[in-house]
Amino acid sequence: MKTMLPLSPVLLLVVACGDEAAVGSALDATMAVTELDVSAGSIVFSEDWSEARTAELRQGGSFDVFFDLDRLPACRGTHNGYPAWDLIGYARFLPGGQTFEASVRELGSDNGRPTNEAHEKLWTLTAPSDATAVELWFKNYTGAGSSCVAWDSNWGENYRFDIAPPADSPRCQNVEKETGVRSEAEQAVHMAPHCLGYDLDAQYDATYCELYVDGFGDGYLGHYGIPVQWLVGYLRVGPQEGELLGAGMFTRYHARDGAPGERWSFGQEIEPGLWKVGFSYLVTGFQGVAPVDVVADEVAFFIDVRRADGRVLRLWQSRRGANYAVNEVFAPGVIGQGIPYGNMKWARDESAVFESRAACR
């Protein structure tokens, strides 16, 4: 007889979800009894009903799940003076459906006798090599004839977290994505390493106005004397023959010592049909932020589309592969704009980067 994991019932509580958020305050009360390796990738379910992923989860890699017991405090029954309750975590990896369960509570002990005092117990999982996501949910119950049961399951939808390929996968090399973090200026970009969830089958020029550049600028912020500089573009993306997977900017650059580099930077849709893309070329390293100091030489723009037959195509606005030289983009002059703690320099309408806009409008 096959044993089936219970389906996740609807949780009768409102919860909020976050990603890669600060987790220090949620752990302060428990770090004396459990050590969380945030660098290896961990998922934290905090008492305040937030959820955070501390680092990228990767195929074949292990990660810890931390569940604050105060999220489900209802069932703490005893039987003959002994604890008769548990708090179980359930995990299901997708698309393979591999399922696991484990207790996420550790009972206290009084000279070898279990007490009803408990603390959090880390749950370590290893992502299968084919996993692209993991779903998590939790059950608190009292046994010994009790009917007390409580669930934490994101209203029956479960908590879903993406799983990336290994760090050395080609899908992860020189790829980054906008995080959506807010800062002093809405024009700023905030990138983090990213892994594609698909392989490219072909790449073509966007000859049918699938996208065009509708704005391009060079930004500077100097808050507290910490300089940040970036390039930002705004792409108009129309309806596609298939599923739009993302839009981005390609940058070819060189370091101050002359070493070449390139980056594929995926952006964020800020309103229907309008995507903000960009690349930070100067970042002052502080508080764990990696420094960047390079010179951007060329840019180009792209979208990824999954056709109905499953093929993924990358469509380019790149001057048929010649790209747009950054110094040429701003050669006709710039339009200045003041922003909090800095300024923007916008390319003029006659800039070469707007050739696609002129052709597609």
Q: Percentage of the chain with pLDDT > 90?
A: 76
pLDDT of residue 288: 66
| Radius of gyration of the chain from its Cα atoms, rounded to whole angstroms | 25
Mean pLDDT of 199-217: 96
The pLDDT score that the predictor gives to residue 6 is 38
H or E element, residue 343: strand 342-347
User: Is the confidence at residue 8, as pLDDT, over 80?
Assistant: no
Task: Give domain limits for the chain.
Answer: 24-162, 170-360
At 180 the pLDDT is: 87
What pLDDT was estimated at residue 56?
85
pLDDT at 29 over 90: no
Mean pLDDT across 198-223:
95
DSSP string, 8-25: -PPPSS-----SS---HH
The residue behind tokens 């701003």 is 330
Report the alpha-carbon distance of residue 194 to residue 232 in Å, rounded.
18
Task: Please state, rounded to an integer, the average pLDDT across all residues of the chain.
Answer: 88
Tokens of 206: 């966007």
**Going by C-beta distance under 8 Å and a sequence separation of 6 or more, which residues neighbour residue 221?**
183, 184, 185, 188, 227, 228, 229, 339, 340, 341, 342
Mean pLDDT of the 179-198 span: 89
What 8-state DSSP symbol labels residue 170? G
Question: 283 falls in which pLDDT band (50, 70, 90)?
Answer: very high
Give the separation between CA 86 and CA 264, rounded to whole angstroms: 47
